[in-house]
């Protein structure tokens, strides 16, 4: 789309698509039902957001966890539109649940969704051949349609050429160019919508047959012919991108690069976060001292100092480490590296029965298992999907990071091993243990659950680009918001409840132990100690594991509260690491680390597994096998470290 | 007097925290069901109209939104 090409904003087709006057449409009371259809990552959702702004509702299609986005739009002529953003698909022959929903909505097969009257087929101009195949599939249904060539600006930069007038004439439908990410980028589409006559209601559902292999070959041939006729010229792939891909996608060098990248990430988590963590610890301590001096001794002061400040403060201190981890993950995602890593790992993951597609849900599970589980339905074969769901909680989620960071800081010396930080090495090892155990469990599932169908990996590799600073900032702010909401919400609430359980009933007059020993929490901890004693866990750890069921990092806050309450007198104990380093043995710390690699300590995760599998069977199996693995790993670790030390 | 007020404040804080923790730990669809049942019960009772309008409606809107996704996690999906 350089100066030589003819790409007007709107290219109109012949008059057969304007059977009635546009003015007649204005008088209609019912909104025109419009569906946005396109391949994944063509900018369809950006276009949807541009058109509907905040006037949109997001829910699920009934019975499935496929997102349903519907928005409203009122045109300049007063015509109303009801726009539905359908899940991205490469063709009408579905390979995933999302794609099946798209097909069914278009064909009018879905009872819960009224059939669209007009299809807006969105294609990425830069990767037009991919989008044209779907476009031809949809066009063959004979539905009223407008074609949108999105990312016109990127196409111009990449010197893509296409004659849109000719394309419109060949297809027999209006073709418009848009830049969905720009404020006025969808004007041409709005104008085309306003000009489009209201189509007549059609008989539903539309009859459609899955194309045969010959039909698919014919479509590919039609796409090539259409591109030739319209003077399409592919974007030139930059030489440096090809050279970079030859290394990044290399089966050996690519894997080495991936391992090195992950290694650097975990080194940075410890090396860069030290100073901000010290500042937060100092700040929390200062607030605690100020509150102690401002209030008279009593239950309110104890609640604020020992419950709220000591509990929430001991979790808050891990914010810098979480942010550094996500800075790297978001930068790798934005640079276009992650899909390449998925491609690279497809062979490795295939060996243990996982699809390369599982890489993205599993990577998301490093943030939290829940978005990972929710992304799993995009993996088509049931066996691959269930394997991914079952191993996703083994990926080290960000809630485990505070536990790891606390125990490493308390027990692993902060010294260098060659050029590396020893604490960073241990953290890398723990993450690696999570990944390794996930692959091992997947392999066991591969040997026990029968394969039903084969589904090849289909991925679009985006161009490399420098990570966008604004995207990174937005992503990090989102993580800060989530973390602070958790600390200020569920963690704070549980710390207050735990403070109550740790404070009442008070110690008897002839008490020889700290008051918490005689409290409700002390009683629970001493009972649980019988179960966890073989793992080297004391009653304080046993107490902390209970509220830790809500979220793993809550256990740290709980330990903060329990040890603050265990302290003689009423002094503040926000720095947990020095306390546990003298209270626990190295074997106990290692055992707790091993426990946390496997522990099924997240009720939300189990609830989401139940929802995604629509059965109690899988969450129960998951909780059972994770508990068994955690107990076994912690027991073996405790015995081994005790024997060695 | 002071210690009685302090005790009441502490008990209130602990009760609110316990209720909030239980509510937060309920799965989103269960929360939606509870809210819908509350809404149905309060229907037609004019003296509860303020509660329905100011408390229930925003909670219901939020619960409907979240029943399709995780309440604690970012809607952003990596990749």
Strands A118-124 and A32-38 come out as parallel
Residue A54 reports pLDDT greater than 60: no
Q: What is the pLDDT of residue A2?
A: 36
Tell me, yes or no, if A338 comes closer than 8 A to chain B by beta carbon.
yes
Q: Which residues of A touch B72 (CB under 8 A)?
A: 368, 370, 482, 485-486, 490, 551, 604
pLDDT > 90? residue A237? no
B78: in domain: no
Mean pLDDT of chain A: 80
A10 pLDDT more than 50? no
pTM: 0.65
pLDDT value for A627:
92
> A58 at the B interface (CB within 8 A)?
yes
B20, closest residue in chain A (CA to CA): A493
Instruction: Flag if B78 and A490 touch (Cβ within 8 Å).
Output: no
- The verdict on A570 touching B (C-beta cutoff 8 Å) is no
Is residue B69 classed exposed, middle or buried when 0-12, 13-18 and 19+ CB atoms within 10 A define those classes? Answer: buried
Q: A45 Cβ partners below 8 Å, 6+ apart?
A: A69, A85
B10 falls within a domain: yes
For testing the chain B interface, which of A299, A334, A393, A486 should be mutated: the one with the most B CBs within 10 Å? A299
Residue at B63 is within a domain: yes
pLDDT for A86 beyond 60: yes
Q: Distance between CA A278 and CA A270 in Å, rounded?
A: 12
The whole-number pLDDT of residue A450 equals: 57
Chain A within 8 Å of B6 (Cβ-Cβ)? yes
Read off the pLDDT band of B16 (50, 70, 90).
Answer: very high
Answer whether residue B55 is part of any domain: yes
pLDDT at A204: 64
- Residues from chain B contacting residue A299 (CB–CB below 8 Å): 6-7, 10
ipTM of the complex model = 0.78
More confident residue, A200 or A279: A279
Model confidence pLDDT, tens digit, residues A376-394: 766 666 777 888 889 988 9
Q: Closest partner residue to B70 among A374, A479, A500, by Cβ?
A: A374
Residue bearing the bigger pLDDT, A454 or A68: A68
Q: Number of structural domains, chain B?
A: 1
pLDDT of residue A241: 83
Q: How many CB pairs under 8 A join A and B?
A: 106
Contact A329 B78 (CB under 8 A): yes
Angle, nearest 10°, between helix axes A554-566 and A492-503? 30
* Cβ distance of B18 and A370 shorter than 8 Å: no
Q: For position A58, what pLDDT does the model report?
A: 54
Nearest residue to A98 (alpha-carbon basis) of A106, A90, A87: A87
**Interface probe, candidates A56, A328, A332, A371, chain B, greatest B C-beta count within 10 A:** A371
H-only helix segments in A174-252: 187-195, 213-229, 239-248
Residue A485 has pLDDT above 70, yes or no: yes
Token pair 């589980």: residue: A373
Confidence at residue A331, expressed as pLDDT on a 0 to 100 scale: 87
At A550 the pLDDT is 65
B-chain CB neighbours of A329 within 8 Å are: 78
- A517: pLDDT confidence band, cut at 50, 70 and 90? confident
A54-70 mean pLDDT: 59
> What CA–CA distance (Å, rounded) separates A467 from A151?
18
Residue B51 is part of which domain span?
4-67
**A361: nearest CA in chain B?**
B78
> Does B79 map to a domain?
no
More confident residue, A45 or B38: B38
Contact between A599 and A605 under an 8 Å Cβ cutoff? The reply is no
Distance from CA of B48 to the nearest CA of A (A): 28
Q: Are A419 and A327 in contact (CB under 8 A)?
A: no
Q: Is some CB atom of chain A closer than 8 A to the CB atom of B9? A: yes
Which of A207-211, B4-8, B38-42 has the highest mean predicted lDDT (pLDDT)?
B4-8
pLDDT above 50: residue A562 = yes
Q: What is residue A455's predicted lDDT score, i.e. its pLDDT?
A: 60
Contact B74 A479 (CB under 8 A): yes
Residue A229 CA: distances (Å) to CA of A163, A169, A177: 9, 11, 18
> Residues 411..450 of A with a Cβ closer than 8 Å to B: which?
none
Q: Which residues of A touch B9 (CB under 8 A)?
A: 300
**Sheet with A56-60, edge to edge strand ranges:** A10-11, A175-177, A145-150, A118-124, A32-38, A80-85, A67-74, A56-60
Strands (E), A389-453: 416-417, 420-421
pLDDT band at A78 (very low <50, low <70, confident <90, very high): confident
Task: Flag whether B73 is in a domain.
Answer: no
Inter-residue contact A113 to A30 (CB < 8 Å): no
Task: Looking at the complex, report in whole angstroms how far the Cα of residue A616 sits from the nearest Cα belonging to chain B.
Answer: 14
* Portion of chain A with pLDDT greater than 70, in percent: 86
Among A59, A375, A496, the residue with its CB nearest the CB of B14 is: A496
Cβ count within 10 A of residue A347 = 12
Angle at B5 between CA B1 and CA B10, to 5 degrees: 145
Q: Give the pLDDT of residue A122.
A: 92
What pLDDT was estimated at residue A488? 81
Going A88 to A93 to A95 to A97, the CA torsion angle's sign is: positive
Tell me how far apart the alpha carbons of residues A346 and A590 are, in angstroms, rounded to a whole number: 33
- Cβ neighbours of B6 in A, within 8 Å: 298-300
SS3 A397: coil
Q: How far apart are CA A52 and CA A34, in angstroms?
A: 12
pLDDT for A37 equals: 92
- Residues 20-59, chain B, touching A (beta carbon < 8 A): 20-21, 24-25, 27, 29
**Looking at residues A221-239, what average pLDDT do you find?**
82
| Banded model confidence at residue B19, pLDDT cuts 50, 70, 90 | very high
Query: Is residue B76 in some structural domain?
Result: no
Q: Report yes or no: A478 at the B interface, CB cutoff 8 Å.
A: yes
**Nearest CB to B25; choose among A371, A499, A550:** A550
Cβ distance of A496 and B70 shorter than 8 Å: no
Q: What is the 3-state secondary structure (H, E, C) of A80-106?
A: EEEEEECCCCCCCCCCCHHHHHHHHHH
Q: Which of A8 and A390 is assigned the larger pLDDT?
A: A390
């Amino acid at each position: 789309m350089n100066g030589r090409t003819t790409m007007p904003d709107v290219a109109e087709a012949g008059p057969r698509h304007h059977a009635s006057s546009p003015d007649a449409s204005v008088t209609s009371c019912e909104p025109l039902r419009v569906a946005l259809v396109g391949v994944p990552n063509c900018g369809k959702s950006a276009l949807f957001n541009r058109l509907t702004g905040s006037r949109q509702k997001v829910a699920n299609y009934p019975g499935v966890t496929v997102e349903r986005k519907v928005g409203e739009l009122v045109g300049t002529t007063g015509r109303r539109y009801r726009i539905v953003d359908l899940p991205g698909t490469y063709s009408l022959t579905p390979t995933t649940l999302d794609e099946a929903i798209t097909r069914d909505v278009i064909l009018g097969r879905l009872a819960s969704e009224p059939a669209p009257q007009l299809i807006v087929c969105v294609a990425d101009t830069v990767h037009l051949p991919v989008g044209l195949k779907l476009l031809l599939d949809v066009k063959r249904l004979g539905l009223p349609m407008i074609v949108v060539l999105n990312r016109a600006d990127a196409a111009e930069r990449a010197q893509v050429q296409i004659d849109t007038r000719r394309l419109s004439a060949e297809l027999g439908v209006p073709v418009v160019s848009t830049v969905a990410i720009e404020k006025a980028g969808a004007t041409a589409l709005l104008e085309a919508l306003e000009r489009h006559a209201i189509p007549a209601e059609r008989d539903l559902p539309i009859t459609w047959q899955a194309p045969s292999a010959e039909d698919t070959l014919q479509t590919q041939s039609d796409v090539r012919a259409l591109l030739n006729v319209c003077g399409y010229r592919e974007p030139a792939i930059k030489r440096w991108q090809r050279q970079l891909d030859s290394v990044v996608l290399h089966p050996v060098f690519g894997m080495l690069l991936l391992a090195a990248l992950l290694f650097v990430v975990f080194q940075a988590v410890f090396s860069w976060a030290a100073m901000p963590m010290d500042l937060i610890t100092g700040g929390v301590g200062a607030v605690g001292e100020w509150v102690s001096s401002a209030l008279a001794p009593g239950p309110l002061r104890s609640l604020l100092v020992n419950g709220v400040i000591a509990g929430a403060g001991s979790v808050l201190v891990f914010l810098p480490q979480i942010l550094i981890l996500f800075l790297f993950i978001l930068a790798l995602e934005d640079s276009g590296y992650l899909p390449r890593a998925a491609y690279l790992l497809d062979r490795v993951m295939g060996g243990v029965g996982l699809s390369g597609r599982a890489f993205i849900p599993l990577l998301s599970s490093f943030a939290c298992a829940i978005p990972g589980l929710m992304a799993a339905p995009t993996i088509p074969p049931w066996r691959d999907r269930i394997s991914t769901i079952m191993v996703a909680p083994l990926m080290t989620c960000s809630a485990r990071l505070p536990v790891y960071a606390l125990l490493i800081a308390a027990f692993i010396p902060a010294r260098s091993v060659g050029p590396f930080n020893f604490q960073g090495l241990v953290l890398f090892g723990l993450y690696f243990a999570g990944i390794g155990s996930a692959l091992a469990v997947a392999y066991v599932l591969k040997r026990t659950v029968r394969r039903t169908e084969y589904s090849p990996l289909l991925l679009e590799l985006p161009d490399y680009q420098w990570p966008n600073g604004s995207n990174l900032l937005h992503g990090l702010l989102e993580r800060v918001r989530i973390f602070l909401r958790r600390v200020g919400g569920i963690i704070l609430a549980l710390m207050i409840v735990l403070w109550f359980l740790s404070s009442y009933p008070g110690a008897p007059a002839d008490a020889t132990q700290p008051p918490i020993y005689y409290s409700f929490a002390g009683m629970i901890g001493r009972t649980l100690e019988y179960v966890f004693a073989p793992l080297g866990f004391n009653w304080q750890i046993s107490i902390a594991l209970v509220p830790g069921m809500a979220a793993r990092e809550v256990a740290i806050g709980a330990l903060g509260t329990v040890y603050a309450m265990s302290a003689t007198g009423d002094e503040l104990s926000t720095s947990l690491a020095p306390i546990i380093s003298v209270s626990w043995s190295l074997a106990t710390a290692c055992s707790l680390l091993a426990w946390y690699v496997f522990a099924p300590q997240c009720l939300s995760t189990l609830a989401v597994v139940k929802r995604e599998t629509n059965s109690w069977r899988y969450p129960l199996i998951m909780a059972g096998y994770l508990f068994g693995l955690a107990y076994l790993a912690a027991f073996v670790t405790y015995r081994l470290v005790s024997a060695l030390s | 007097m002071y210690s009685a007020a302090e005790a009441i404040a502490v008990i209130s804080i602990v009760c609110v925290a316990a209720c909030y923790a239980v509510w937060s730990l309920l799965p989103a669809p269960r929360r939606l069901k509870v809210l819908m049942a509350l809404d149905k019960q309060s229907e037609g009772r004019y003296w509860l109209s303020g509660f329905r309008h100011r408390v229930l409606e925003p909670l219901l809107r939020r619960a409907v939104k979240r029943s399709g996704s995780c309440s604690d996690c970012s809607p952003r999906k990596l990749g």
